[in-house]
Amino acid sequence: MKRRKAIAYTPHTLQMAFNETVRIRESVFRFGKPRTIMTDNPKELVDKLFARYVEMKTPEQAELPSA
């Protein structure tokens, strides 16, 4: 178990885990290319993204910035 934890947090294995999470496959979820958003208020942005993608509100209802 200690070895597994040590391996799980190397930059290489974290990148591999991220790539595995977002790769295209047959499922209900589809992921686009990873992108970044710069913000002064991360909590507010996370709340808006949660409203959009989990609560299924429209971008106007979630008050998301346009891309």
- Lowest mean pLDDT, pick from 4-13, 20-29, 45-54: 4-13
Nearest 5°: CA angle at 36, between 33 and 41?
145
The model's pTM: 0.47
Q: Where are the alpha helices (DSSP H) in 1-67?
A: 2-8, 11-22, 42-53, 59-62
Task: Domain count for the chain, please give it.
Answer: 1
> Which residue range(s) make up the domain with 51?
34-67
Residue 16 lies inside a defined structural domain of this protein: no
pLDDT digits (tens, 9 = 90+) for 16-43: 888 888 787 776 766 678 888 899 999 9
> What whole-number percentage of the chain has pLDDT above 90?
15
State how far the Cα of 48 lies from the Cα of 1, in Å rounded to an integer.
37
Distance set, CA 37 to CA 13, 24, 60 (Å): 24, 22, 18
Pair 52, 59: CB distance under 8 Å: yes
Position 45 in a domain:
yes
